[in-house]
Copies of this chain bind each other. A is one copy, B any other.
């Protein structure tokens, strides 16, 4: 164990907690750390050649953002990767839809010039999404990125700092489920893209309420479509 420590104190002071956080998050999101896995500070520390201190920071953030939870029936906190369930997906998507709905509401109230620029961007992204989805063997990574970009578009241009912060803490958690979605429901992406058009329409016509509702429906429907997939997999939490 001690022989393996490459450069423990020579590391270039580059926000190690964040690096550890990102790497762990990646492992979780991509399913390499299965739901239920226990995260042991010491193991992680040796794995990344850092001490427990930055690891602790990363774990606390992961926990706060919901990627890991303290396994129940234990007093001492034992962080484990949180499970993937149908109910959780449904609730999470509703919450994301709600937050993004608020952003869309605000986007529809933007002054015209800014709104026009946003609309152009949204249309471009969504058309690319449609085109990519229509391909013979759609590029999953690209599909996911385009969908992400679409939603991020109106959030960035209309949300204030607080909403943005909250969104960027909550939304990424949906990635765990979205990766399932895109893997098993690539054929239904066009449904989503059509729903996106309704969102665009709501923002374009300057009707905040409609834009918001369209976003809600998009996420709610996605959760429903996804629910069938999770059920089929028996909620095993692995894929």
Chain A residues proximal to chain B, CB less than 8 Å = 56-57, 60-61, 64, 66, 87-88, 91-92, 94-95, 98-99, 101-102, 160-163, 165-166, 169-170
Contact = CB atoms under 8 A, between A and B. Distances in A.
A95 B166 contact: yes
Contacts of A99: 95, 98
Contact of A102 (B66, B88, B98, B170): B98
A161 B92 CA distance: 10
Q: How many copies does the complex hold?
A: 2
A99 B99 CA distance: 8
B95 A162 contact: yes
Contacts of A56: 57
| 9 nearest CB pairs, A to B | A91-B160, A91-B162, A98-B102, A64-B64, A98-B98, A60-B60, A92-B162, A95-B163, A95-B162
A87 B170 contact: no
A162 B66 contact: yes
Given A64-B64, A88-B162, A95-B102, 10 more contacts: A60-B61, A66-B162, A66-B165, A92-B162, A94-B102, A95-B99, A98-B98, A98-B99, A98-B101, A166-B170
A238 B64 CA distance: 30
A25 to B, nearest CB: 15
Contacts of A95: 99, 102, 162-163, 166
Nearest to A167: B95
Contacts of A66: 162, 165
A57 B56 CA distance: 9
Contacts of A64: 61, 64, 169
Contact of A60 (B57, B101, B160, B170): B57
